[in-house]
Structure 1
Amino acid sequence: MNVANTEVAYEVSTNPATLEEIGRLPLTTEAEFERIFEAARKAQKAWAQVSYKERASYILKMADYIRDHADELADIISQDNGKLKIDALNTEIIPSIMSCTWYAKNAPKVLKDELLPPPSLLFFNKWSKRIYQPIGTLGIISPWNYPFSIPFGELVMGLMAGNAVVLKVAAQTPMVGAAIERVVKSSGLPDGLFAHIVGSGSKVLEGMLSNGANKIFFTGSTYAGKQVMKSCAEYLVPCSLELGGNDAMVVLDDAPIERAVNGGMWAAYQNAGQSCGGVKRVYVHEKVYDEFVAMAIAKTRALRHGVNGYDTDLGSVTTEKQFQTLEKELQTALDNGATIAAQSTPVGEQKGYFFPATLLTDVTADMEFIKEEIFGPLMPIVKVSSEEEAIELANQSQYGLSASVWTRNNARGERVARRLEAGAVTVNDHLYSHGICNTEWGGPKESGISRTHGALGLKEVAESKIINWDLLPGLSKNNAWWFPFDEGIYNNMLKLTAYAKPKSVFQWLMLNTFVVPKVVARMLSSWKVKD
């Protein structure tokens, strides 16, 4: 929420679990935007010349700070977002430390120069090298559901690749942005390489683009992602979009039921269900449906939602708007014919936006509510008659972020996973793969464009360049396809069209015996021409 007095406008943070104000930050002005990007460009030029080893030394100091202040940071995330401290620790703090150590170690390997030999004997003298260089200044616009780990991982990748980074966290979680500032500052990173901007999303995006951001990383809703892409197109600036998900959980007839129930509930309910890669639809084989549902009912009722503490399992929803949206979506599900089979139990004072974990049965695949991304702790279960039906229904979505398969047979799990239209598929688990820093994250369809994390994520924050040269630079003064042209050159080149894919071994031999020597001879003959 933005507020202003006669002189300064602020972004105010309110704890959604208690509705108490926890802090406020001044909004970034247009003049500050210009200074931030000017400083970023200047600092980045020097940073691009710094070795990977030296860059890694700063990143590892950030890891030290996060480790040594883990409890404090988890508390800030919890208060700003509404999630439990245990959720903040498990899904934001620990993955961020691991991302520092992995990228510090592996960026030099992933972004190392690659020697490319000639693709054909026709180019026997032409060798190439692929190198990776920094893009420049990266603009990161991050969401409120994982306000620390999502932007921090991209920040680390960007810095390790030699870029400057300008970050805007969600308006609902500004104090997390301030905490990330402190983490970066603790490393002694050179001035100008990182900045935290405070303001509304559309204005910040325009400010980033108009001031020369070289690439935008956005995580959020599909609708907002499309608006970001339109804005970037006007400036011809590339963007990486990690958007919505409507993840399917496929429970096969040989699934380990208790593990499936436990894992499915965690992925559907943790973070108050506000995970783009959480379980949103559960397809259970009819042979194990009754067992699965009975166990899920008992375990959902045993869950507790409330303010932070060691006797709660779910925290609050992050915003009042999202809470109201969930109430409407639940009512839509009930109007469609779904039934509330079980809900979590409230504990302690319930002043904030607490939405109970809700298990839904009597759900069919044609119900409208199950076709959209529900960003909250709802777990709808659909009965299916076969593996084939489960795969077909799982793929009937405009999203493709992630999915899971539950079976006692890993080979079967992989076979089904290959057929699911998703960027990441886990067997006998769900959601956690976002925290594995060496595997990319993202998906097809309306779940976004490009990937973050891992080797592919590092290559998204770098610019590839090809350097090509002659292996024997003194071999010729003239290539075969250079001027002057004549009929003989044309006929020889026409014959060479079959060289890449000759019709027979005999044709290949004839080309190498008669045509290729003529082409080489023409190149060598250039030495006989007087300057």
Structure 2
Amino acid sequence: MRPSVTYTAADASFSINPATGEEIARHAYLRGDAIDHLLQASQSGFVVWSAMPIAQRLGVLQSMATVLRSRLEPMAQTVTQEMGKPIVQARAEVEKCASLCDWYAQNGEAMLADEPTSIGTNAYVSYLPLGSVLGVMPWNFPYWQVMRSAVGVLLSGNAYVLKHAPNVMLCAHLLADAWRVAGLPDGAFTLLHADNEGISRAIADRRIAGVMVTGSVRAGSAIAAQAGGALKKSVLEMGGSDPLIVLADADIERAADAAITGRFQNTGQVCIAAKRILLHASIADEFLDRFVTKTKALVMGDPTRDETYLGPMARFDLRDAMAEQVRQSQAEGAKTLLAGGIVEGRGNFYAPTILADVTRSMTCFREEVFGPVASLISVRDASEALALANDSEFGLCASLWTEDRTAAKQFARQLQAGGLFLNSIPVSDPRVPIGGVKHSGYGRELSHFGVREFTNAQTVWFDRT
């Protein structure tokens, strides 16, 4: 059943349960003076928050971890209801956010400590906050994407203004309330629910010091252009078409299991998903047999049930657009190993689809396919795999399966991507930075790189002679 409303209207956005097509809630956009009041509140929150000693800020992060765990079940159920994430995966997302806060609370102080220089004790670098940072965030991980962006910004003493995706505003409000209960000062974390005009107004405002965007290339480039015009820094993560490469000496069973998770987790709606699977010709048939069999065994259905692995796609328009990408690829010669497609009836379901004999000219190779569709490509050797992996406008992450660590290191140095994961699927983890190159964006989130992105690296030099 399709929703009776679109996802945005002139004055409000809508939360739609994608499993049923029913409207859950609607959320009015802020305009004019309301945006000004919010930005002033954020500025006031920044003044209070940035003045707090680092130990006090770390304490709020630790408190946030406790609050998230105490609210895990209702927060997970809201994700499942609002964007269709299977409930087990929704619970894991909330827990991952709590673990993120734990890790930064334990390790954050060192990331912001004054840093000595080669000059000696007379010179050092301090990392100082800039102000309020606007985060424009997506719907696919309604909590995690926000938290991996916001925690580093907040830890460094900045305030955070969240412009969340219009279809997950219930999740946005739950996060804001959790920060309030955790002890974050009023205004240090605020919600800007605005249309494009309102976002532009905020970016141009002197009270916004920088912008973070996770989303489409179109959205990221437009917002970055506005931020650049206002001489403000931006950090962009604009998705990818990540390759998963399986070479001849790989553990095929492990690689196939990983490819299932890497492609179909969160119903395939993951920026770092294994969207292009490159297989050495000598092991391609064996891998395909296992991959197809395992895909057929995945349980699709009611996302509130623990046994469900594939839920509905979050948005009806994106499901239809993906179905068209599949149709184009099939017309271009892609072989269909598993014919899934749109599931007729109630909800926004798309059964997993596997395309083989994919070539670099096909739509499913050239474009990001954001959903439960796998594209399989046969390669002669590692050199061809590298060339095809790099033959993309994107460069977020990649997964390489081989037992030759020396060759893997050489492969990594030639790979045009922000990350390479050897014998595992890509993950976002606070211990390492995440980000991309080319049309996947620039800048980094997580680890000390993310914490320092929106800081003033201030040189202090005494008695220079």
TM bucket by the smaller chain? over 0.9
Alignment partners' CA distance in 1, 2:414 and 2:425: 17
**Matching of residues 36-115 of structure 1 within 5 Å:** 36-90=38-92, 92-115=93-116
Q: TM-score, normalization: structure 2?
A: 0.94
**Matching of residues 295-314 of structure 1 within 5 Å:** 295-308=290-303, 309-314=305-310
- Which of 308, 321, 324 is the equivalent residue of 1:325? 321
Decide whether the 8 Å contact of 1:252 with 1:284 is kept in 2: yes
- Which of 359, 364, 367 is the equivalent residue of 1:369? 364
Q: Report the CA distance between 1:146 and its aligned residue.
A: 1.3
- 2:182 corresponds to which residue? 187
Alignment partners' CA distance in 1, 2:204 and 2:103: 30
Q: TM-score, normalization: structure 1?
A: 0.82
Letter in 2 for 1:175: L
Q: Report the CA distance between 1:304 and its aligned residue.
A: 2.3
Letter in 2 for 1:468: W
Alignment partners' CA distance in 2, 1:385 and 1:208: 48
Decide whether the 8 Å contact of 2:42 with 2:188 is kept in 1: yes
Kindly tell me the number of residue pairs found equivalent between the two proteins: 458
- Which of 285, 292, 295 is the equivalent residue of 1:290? 285
Q: Percent identity between the aligned chains?
A: 29
Say which SS state the counterpart of residue 248 (structure 2) adopts: coil
Q: Deviations over 1:257-305 (max 9, x none)?
A: 1111111121111212111111111110111011011111211111222
- 2:440 corresponds to which residue? 447
Q: Report the CA distance between 1:390 and its aligned residue.
A: 0.8
Alignment partners' CA distance in 1, 2:436 and 2:9: 37
Is 1:271 the counterpart of 2:272 in the alignment?
Answer: no
RMSD of Structure 2 on Structure 1 (CA): 2.0
Decide whether the 8 Å contact of 1:358 with 1:378 is kept in 2: yes
Alignment partners' CA distance in 2, 1:206 and 1:404: 40
Decide whether the 8 Å contact of 1:414 with 1:427 is kept in 2: no
Is 1:462 the counterpart of 2:455 in the alignment?
Answer: yes
Q: Report the CA distance between 1:344 and its aligned residue.
A: 6.0
Structure-2 change in CA distance of 1:201 and 1:256 (3 Å): farther
**Matching of residues 358-507 of structure 1 within 5 Å:** 358-431=353-426, 433-434=427-428, 436-470=429-463
- 1:352 corresponds to which residue? 347
Q: Report the CA distance between 1:418 and its aligned residue.
A: 3.0
Letter in 2 for 1:311: E
Flag the structure with larger Rg.
1
- 2:4 corresponds to which residue? none
Higher relative contact order (CA 8 A, sep 6+): 2
Letter in 2 for 1:225: G
Decide whether the 8 Å contact of 1:24 with 1:175 is kept in 2: no
Structure 1 unpaired stretches of 5+: 120-125, 472-478, 480-531
Alignment partners' CA distance in 1, 2:43 and 2:245: 48
- 2:21 corresponds to which residue? 19
Alignment partners' CA distance in 2, 1:62 and 1:29: 30
Structure-2 change in CA distance of 1:26 and 1:469 (3 Å): same
Letter in 2 for 1:470: D
- 1:127 corresponds to which residue? 122
Say which SS state the counterpart of residue 105 (structure 2) adopts: helix
Say which SS state the counterpart of residue 279 (structure 1) adopts: coil
Say which SS state the counterpart of residue 426 (structure 1) adopts: strand
